[in-house]
Amino acid sequence: MNSKRKKIIADFTQNPVTAQAYANIALIKYWGKRSVELNLPAVGSISLTLDALKTTTTLQFDESLESDTLHLDHRNVAGKPLERITQFLDTAVQTGDRPKAKIVSSNSFPTGAGLASSASGFAALAVAVNEAMNLHLTKEELSILARQGSGSAARSIYGGFAEMMCGTSLDDDQDDFAIQLEDESYWDLRLLIAVTSTDKKETGSTEGMVRTAKSSPFYTGWVESQQADLDEMRRAIKKKNFAKVGELTEHSCFKMHGLAMSGRPPLLYWNGATTEMIHTIWNLRTKGTAAYITMDAGPQVKVLCQPGNSELVKQAMLSVKGVKQIIEAKPGPGAAIVTDNQIKVKNS
């Protein structure tokens, strides 16, 4: 990858480049890093990309700019989010004197509230910088690049089911990329997202992971038990065994949240509506409706179900006090360049 990146500066375009990417939901969760500096995961993970959570990003390198600029969801953004993007572009381009960039990005969903905006955001940016700088990266190289922005972004390069691989080296990231398990047309499922708060989360995933690894007595058990969950989930997806996929999804989610709660100080991402929703879905299940819960670093509850049950599950979710909105998602496509209103999948 490095040799390809060396010649890019002569080659880059100053024309705007637009990319789209979709957030993903981890069915087997990523939580913990073996290197914070290189953003290397401590565990593998398995996800489903979602069609309803889309980020559209336009990137334009411009030699007349003095610094990078970020316009996110119709607002100019400075500070940490912009620094993270500058660092990402520096890593991608691998030269100190790259042209500065103007980035205009928008999400079709609330940003920073645990709906994986960093996953779709960095996947879209990786695809855009690849195009603008003529890097000619493969999917795996794109996934490595996206991962440097945010671990979960590595999976959003792909549509459908993806698995993030976890290497062992502490100073090399060439084994830490995602692969596609099945594409978005493989299995018609629904993921219903109950938005219970649109506030920005108090403790971001990165900080939460670091705290958990440092202070939870359960952290070693979490890391050691992950491989078995990944193996089982891969098999369940292959067999389209919905009950098994659902049961494993809930198990991984509650194991991650239990782990986070066991940190010092404890990390609790839930609010009252989150807890109420858990009971509502479990109650529905005892009455025979197959629906399974998952949650990330925020208070939103995501419920996995089959298309025939989605209306019934949605109505039950809407009955929970504090639910602001239900977003219904299907398996979504991978990150791609947008050209003349047509999506051209790059590097397939």
Q: Choose between 8 and 293: whose C-beta lies nearer to ligand DP6.
A: 293
Nearer residue to ligand DP6 within complex by CB, 111 or 205: 205
Burial of 167 (0-12, 13-18, 19+ CB in 10 A): middle
Between 55 and 150, CB nearer to ligand DP6: 150
Q: Of the two residues 236 and 259, which places its CB atom closer to ligand DP6 in the complex?
A: 259
Strands (E) located in 63-182: 69-72, 75-77, 100-107, 161-164, 178-182
* Closer by beta carbon to ligand DP6, 13 or else 227: 227
Residue 110 phi/psi, 5-degree rounding, is: -60, 130
CA dihedral 320, 325, 331, 335 (to 10 degrees): -140
Nearest to 48 by CA among 198, 166, 193, 212: 193
The alpha carbon dihedral of 235, 239, 244, 246 has a sign of positive
Nearest residue to 152 (alpha-carbon basis) of 199, 209, 103: 209
Q: What are phi and psi of 83, to 5 degrees?
A: -60, -40
Residue 339 Cβ, how far from ligand DP6 at the closest point, in Å?
A: 28
Stretch that binds ligand DP6, among 9-17, 27-35, 304-312, 330-338 (CB under 6 A): 27-35
Kindly state the smallest distance separating residue 217's Cβ from ligand DP6, in Å: 20
Specify the stretch interacting with ligand DP6 by CB under 6 A; choose among 2-10, 29-37, 128-136, 276-284: 29-37
CB of 183: closest distance to ligand DP6 in angstroms? 20
- Name the minimum Å distance from CB 308 to ligand DP6: 27
Compare residues 30 and 177 and give the one whose CB is closer to ligand DP6: 30
Among residues 18, 20, 120, 205, the one that binds ligand DP6 under rule CB under 6 A: 205
Query: Between residue 117 and residue 156, which ones bind ligand DP6 under the rule CB under 6 A?
Result: 118, 150-152
E runs forming strands in the chain? 17-28, 33-35, 40-41, 45-62, 69-72, 75-77, 100-107, 161-164, 178-182, 190-195, 291-294, 301-305, 325-329, 336-339, 342-344
- What's the closest the beta carbon of residue 116 comes to ligand DP6, in angstroms? 6
Min dist CB 205 to ligand DP6, Å, is: 4
Q: Rounded distance, CA 317 to CA 328, Å?
A: 12
Interaction with ligand DP6 in 34-53: which residues (CB under 6 A)? Answer: 39, 45
| 29 vs 255 by CB, closer to ligand DP6 | 29
Three-state secondary structure call for residue 304: strand
Give the per-residue SS3 of 232-285. HHHHHHHCCCHHHHHHHHHHHHHHHHHHHHCCCCCCCCCCHHHHHHHHHHHHHH
Closest approach, Cβ 209 to ligand DP6, in A, equals 6
The residue count for binding ligand DP6 (CB under 6 A) is: 15
**Is 206 one of the binding residues for ligand DP6 (CB under 6 A)?**
yes
Which residues ranging from 245 to 304 are in contact with ligand DP6 (CB under 6 A)? Answer: 296-297
Residue 267 CB, nearest approach to ligand DP6 (Å)? 11
Residues that bind ligand DP6 (CB under 6 A): 26, 29-31, 39, 45, 116, 118, 150-152, 205-206, 296-297
